[in-house]
Amino acid sequence: MSPSIPLQEMIRAIRSARTQCEERGVIQRECAVIRAQFRQSDNDGRSHNLAKLLYVHMLGYPAHFGQMECVRMIASPRYSEKRVGYLGAMMLLDEKQDASLLITNSIKNDLSHSSQYVQSLALCTLACIGSAEMCKDLAPEIEKLLRASNSYIKKKAALCAIHIVRKVPDLGELFARTARSLLAEKHHGVLHGAVVLITVLCECSPDTLERFRKTVPDLVRIMKSLVTSGYSPEHDVAGISDPFLQVRILRLLRILGRNNEAASDTMNDLLAQVATNTDSTKTVGNAVLYETVLTVLDIKSESGLRILAVNILGRFLLNNDRNIRYIAMTSLQKIVGTDNIAVQRHRGTIVDCLKDPDASVKRRALDLSLALASASNIRSMMKELLMFLSSCPPELRAETTSGIFYAAERYAPSQRWHIDTILHVLTTAGGDVRDETVPNLILLITNASELHCYTVHKLYRALLSDISQQPLVQVACWCIGEYGDLLLRGECREMEPVEVTADSVLEALETVLQSHMSTPTTRGFALTATMKLSTRIMDNVDRIKSIVSIYGSCIDVELQQRAVEYNALFKKYDHMRAAVLERMPVIDRNSPGHTNGDSMGGVIKELEVDKVKQRETLLPQLPANQVCDLLNLLGDSEESVPAGPAQGDTVPVQSITTAKPIGGELLDLLGGFEPTPLASAPAVTVYEKNGVTLTLSCEKQSDSAVTVTLKGCNSSDSDVTSFALQAAVPKSVHLNMKAPSGDTLPAKGLAHVTQLVLLNNPNKVNLKMRIRISYSSQGSSVQDTVQIDSFPGLS
Amino acid sequence: MIRFLLLFSKQGKLRLQKWFTPLTDREKKKVIRDMMTIVLARTPRSCNFLQWRDLKIVYKRYASLYFCTGLEEQDNELLSLEVLHRFVELLDKYFGNVCELDIIFNFEKAYFILDEFLMGGEVLETSKVAVGVSLQEADELQETMEEYMSKPMY
């Protein structure tokens, strides 16, 4: 058997290994030796064998064969072996391992050991890896130790109790009374432990919090003595006496004073004293001030104190230390909702922090700047934000653009400013904007009818300079298509007149169509725009015809379809062309089917209903059953509009939602896999036939949003396949059907099919839903319709 | 509470890891990897705080070692900078002008010191003197049994 080398020799050997392979070799050899020695029951060098193993473990190599050795060493009578054994247990075992249960008995014995250092090892290990069962077993022991006379043990027992309460909150009751009495201690370690214990107890149970409110005067007294006492060399850190304890007391006061007038009054003087007297030149002083500010802002403090707190934060903002500025902004973010005016005073400094080179500070400054945007400062704020956008780090771009759009929408002083802002963002960071921006912007432009001429000119110029930013190109194409005639007229009040010919417009669109940078969606926009221009610009119809016919053989199916249809429009239905391609009506923001967050769906529904009507006349060979289904559902109830998937400017061919379940069979095999949230409302059976039942339950998500869960079940003896649901709702309600969990209902109710339907009802109309259920059972297909007039769980 | 405390070198070698919540080995490795990637990528004069998942990460560089800790939402970041500083002071007092090699060759000592200062994710003893005294006494218990292990050596 090769001799085992001392720990430090091994470390040196590993460090001098030149390659990963060499290192692995050394470690494998050592591990083999260690394993052999573990098997020997009596061994002198047990502790440093285990230490070697722990070192190897820290390097990332497997060391689980050491777990049993840890258990054995913990039970050893020698202190050095216990020490390393417990260390090994904390590193190799955790509550999920079975081996950790084996040490429960050793810990129990060691908790009543004569030596306080052995007791402390046991306490430390319990606080580190104690599972819920171990905590329940040993809680009475810990409580006894809390009342011991030894301060060293008391402080450790307090922190161990904290771990127990965190793991098993019900045991909090056991420690509450002792915790209260510990506040009378003089020893700072014990006092600190007691304060943290009380904090955790209060966080766990509101009743305990009520009881501990009586301790507020004691806490104030302790804090005062810390702040006003003289220099104590043991606890002093840069002039502050025991900052750790001070911060914890302030935090406890915060919890106790929240929502309670009486408690808040008691601490007012103390907080004012700490806020004014703490030395803020070093980090430690600022840590205490920071905690004080957080406490003042969270309790029911008097207004003078609040202003003092916000001023301290303002001072922090001007501090040279980046850390201080960062936390100042974090804190201001928390109160910007409630104390907006106070925070507005520091707007200048915050906006300056946008230019700070540090990424963390920039992020905070961005969040806070967006929160501070208001109607009065929007112009200057936007200027700063746009400047920030041009130089901001890539990870913050999406957030910035979303924030800018939101602020612009809320506080735009004029429509022209709004359009200008959005255009600026699209040119600077077009690649990072959200998808809904394009339809939102289009909506905005159609609504600003006086600005059509100005907008189309600006967009045309932007298009000429850069066609790489897709959202910008899409909006530009759409506008040129709609308002091409205004573009050619050349006159525009707000901009210098520029000569624009029909040829140059068509050339611009052609460039977009041919560029490799354009996505298929963008090409779709450009093609439709070209087509629309055929009615707006009279003289170049041939050129348009040729462009359109080229795409009749395009590889992209969507473009090809469009091109073929437009070709047909030229050839067979020329008489209808003008009517079909006339200018779009102004889309009203609150039109049926339009919702604020999802204007996409609204715009598309309008387009969809219009275009479907066009298509009916154009191409009668469209899959007849789908068109018929559409008509059927429309026919059944005058007010229903079928749900359609929203997909850019494309006309959905299948406007009925029957999302194909992906791997439906697999999901059914997995049985219980249901991606639905737990229905908190009662389920109502809405359909029952042939053993197939459909239950409906719904949950209100917000004022106008409802989530409906449909669950299908089959209690008959044979399987039901091709189970599909279709839904229709009144016109002003927006419907979004998620993919069902599957399409097969196995016999005897072995598994369910669940489907989520999200409804948005902004106009608060009477919610009704018609559901068509179709499935195959025993060889025959069944189709049924149910009408739901009242939804369970909705008031 | 503090969720974890990691010490690693500029080259990405882990020197000490203390976990105050139960995590699987895989999760621990992921956290270590993420922390190293994020912290080592920061410029020298950046802010010492950053946001990672739902935790606040506070890190500080002392010579060639990065001390990195993860805090919960309620914790005071500035105070945790003081906690890290206090830990370094304790190491310095014990080893006498501590350097990275001390922590490498005497890692178990570093753990013992940490266990006298932090427990269950909270500060255990706020007095520097008290920690030093208890360490000395515990070591003396060992001196009588295993002389070899207690002497800090290279």
CB neighbours of residue B143 within 10 Å? 12
With contacts defined as CB-CB under 8 Å, which chain B residues touch A59? 14
Q: Are A386 and A369 in contact (CB under 8 A)?
A: no
State the Cα–Cα distance between residues A162 and B120, nearest whole angstrom.
8
Q: Give the separation between CA A281 and CA A289, rounded to whole angstroms.
A: 11
Task: Tell me which chain B residues have a C-beta less than 8 angstroms from the C-beta of A120.
Answer: 134
| Interior angle at CA A117, CA A112 and CA A119, nearest 5 | 25
Distance from CA of A128 to the nearest CA of B (A): 6
Contact B146 A11 (CB under 8 A): no
Number of CB atoms found within 10 A of residue A661's CB: 20
Give the B window 42-61 contacts with A, CB below 8 Å: 43, 45-51
> Which token pair is A604?
């598309």
3-state secondary structure of B72: coil
Chain A contact set for B86 (CB, 8 A): 237
- Residue A481 is predicted with a pLDDT of 85
CB spacing of A287 vs B105 below 8 angstroms: no
Cβ B130–A189 below 8 Å, yes or no? yes
Mutate to test the interface with B, among A64, A251, A323, A325 (most CBs of B within 10 A): A323
Sheet holding B14-19, edge to edge: B14-19, B2-9, B65-71, B55-62, B49-52
Given CB atoms, is A51 within the 8 Å cutoff of chain B?
yes
Q: pLDDT (tens digit, 9 = 90+) per residue, B32-67?
A: 999 999 999 998 888 999 999 999 999 999 999 999
Task: Please state, as a whole number, how many other Cβ atoms lie within 10 Å of the Cβ of residue A295.
Answer: 29
What chain B residue is nearest to A92 in terms of C-alpha separation?
Answer: B25
Q: Which residues of A touch B123 (CB under 8 A)?
A: 192, 244
Which residues make Cβ contacts (< 8 Å) with residue A538, sequence separation at least 6? none
Using 50, 70 and 90 to split pLDDT, how confident is the model at B8?
very high
Q: What CA–CA distance (Å, rounded) separates A33 from A740?
A: 58
Distance CA A495, CA A371 (A): 34
Note the pTM of the prediction, 2 decimals.
0.71
CB A751 within 8 A of CB A673: no
Q: Does A61 touch chain B (CB under 8 A)?
A: no
A7 contacts B122? CB cut-off 8 A: no
Chain B touched by A359 (CB under 8 Å): yes
Contact A291 B79 (CB under 8 A): yes
CB spacing of B76 vs A115 below 8 angstroms: no
What gap in Å lies between CA B105 and CA B94, rounded to an integer? 14
The answer to whether the CB of A664 falls within 8 A of the CB of A743 is: yes
Judging contacts by C-beta atoms under 8 Å, the chain A residues touching residue B49 are 323, 326-327, 360
Which tokens in the block code for residue B113? Answer: 């010191």
Sheet containing A705-714: order of strands: A684-689, A692-700, A705-714, A753-760, A734-737
Q: Can you read off the two tokens belonging to residue A484?
A: 């091409």
* Chain B interface test: which of A50, A142, A159, A288 (most B C-beta within 10 Å): A159
- Report the residue from A58, A324, A357 with minimal CB separation from B17: A58
B82 in contact with A, Cβ within 8 Å? yes
Structure tokens at A161: 């109790």
Q: How far is A92 from chain B (nearest CA, A)?
A: 9
- Residues contacting residue A450 through CB under 8 Å, at least 6 positions apart: none
CB-based contact B29:A60 (threshold 8 Å): yes
Number of cross-chain residue pairs from A and B with Cβ atoms under 8 Å apart: 162
Q: Per-block average pLDDT, block size 10, for chain A (795 residues)?
A: 72 89 91 87 76 90 88 89 92 80 89 91 92 91 91 94 93 90 91 95 91 92 89 86 94 92 91 91 92 92 88 89 91 85 86 86 90 88 89 86 87 85 83 78 80 82 82 86 79 69 83 85 87 77 82 85 86 79 70 40 40 42 38 38 37 36 39 41 78 83 80 82 84 82 80 84 81 84 84 65
Query: Does the distance separating the beta carbons of A162 and B122 come in below 8 Å?
Result: yes
> Which of A337, A428, A340 lies closest to A382, judged by CA?
A428
**Quick one: pLDDT at residue A495?**
67
Q: Which DSSP state fits A720?
A: E
CA–CA gap between residue A786 and residue A795 (Å, rounded): 22
**CA-to-CA dists, residue A71 to A79, A104, A106, A251, A303, angstroms:** 14, 10, 8, 39, 59
Token reading at A724: 């599909």
The residue in chain B having the minimum alpha-carbon distance to the alpha carbon of residue A60 is: B29
A77 chain-B contacts, CB cut-off 8 A: none
B120 conformational bin, left if phi > 0, alpha if psi -120 to 50, beta if neither: left
Under an 8 A CB cutoff, do A152 and B134 touch? Answer: yes
pLDDT, tens digit (0-9, with 9 covering 90-100), for B61-92: 999 999 999 999 999 999 999 999 999 999 99
From B51, B76, B142, residue closest to A287, measured CB to CB: B76
Asked if B126 and A235 come within 8 Å (Cβ–Cβ), the reply is yes
Say whether A284 and B82 touch across the interface (CB within 8 A): yes
Q: Which of A152, A153, A162 is nearest to A130 (CA)?
A: A162
How close, in Å, is residue A431 to chain B by CA atoms? 25
Q: Does A162 touch chain B (CB under 8 A)?
A: yes
Question: Would you say A641 and A655 are in contact if contact means Cβ atoms under 8 Å apart?
Answer: no
Running DSSP on this structure, what letter comes out for residue A614? H
Q: Are A128 and B119 within 8 A, CB to CB?
A: yes
The answer to whether the Cβ–Cβ distance between A117 and B141 falls below 8 Å is yes
A304: region left, alpha or beta (phi > 0 left; psi from -120 to 50 alpha): alpha
Whether residue A234 contacts residue B126, with contact meaning beta carbons closer than 8 Å, is answered with no
Give the residue from chain B lying closest to A88, CA to CA: B108
DSSP string, A680-704: -SPPEEEEEETTEEEEEEEEE-SSS
The verdict on A358 touching B (C-beta cutoff 8 Å) is yes
Q: Does B9 touch chain A (CB under 8 A)?
A: no
Tokens coding A594: 């339009």
Burial A419-456 (b: 16+ CB within 10 A, else e): bbbbbbbbebbbebbeeebbbbbbbbbbebeebbbbbb
Asked whether A195 and A249 are in contact (CB, 8 A), the reply is yes
**Mutating which of A5, A67, A73, A83 best tests the B interface, going by the most B Cβ atoms within 10 A?**
A83
Give the closest-approach CA distance of A199 to chain B in angstroms.
11
CB contact under 8 A, A155 and B125: yes
Q: How far is B59 from chain A (nearest CA, A)?
A: 11
Cα–Cα distance measured from residue A376 to residue A407, given in angstroms and rounded to the nearest whole number: 12
Residues in Cβ contact with B43 at an 8 Å cutoff, skipping those fewer than 6 apart? A357, A358
- Note whether A323 contacts B105, CB cutoff 8 Å: no
- In angstroms, rounded to a whole number, what is the distance separating the alpha carbons of residues A450 and A169? 65
| Chain B partners within 8 Å of A56 (Cβ) | none
Indicate yes or no: CB of B49 within 8 angstroms of CB of A326: yes
Structure tokens at A710: 């449909």
Q: Which of residues 111-150 of B touch A (CB under 8 A)?
A: 111-112, 115, 119-120, 122-130, 134, 137-138, 141-142, 145-146, 148-149
Determine phi and psi for A723, rounding to 5 degrees.
-75, 120
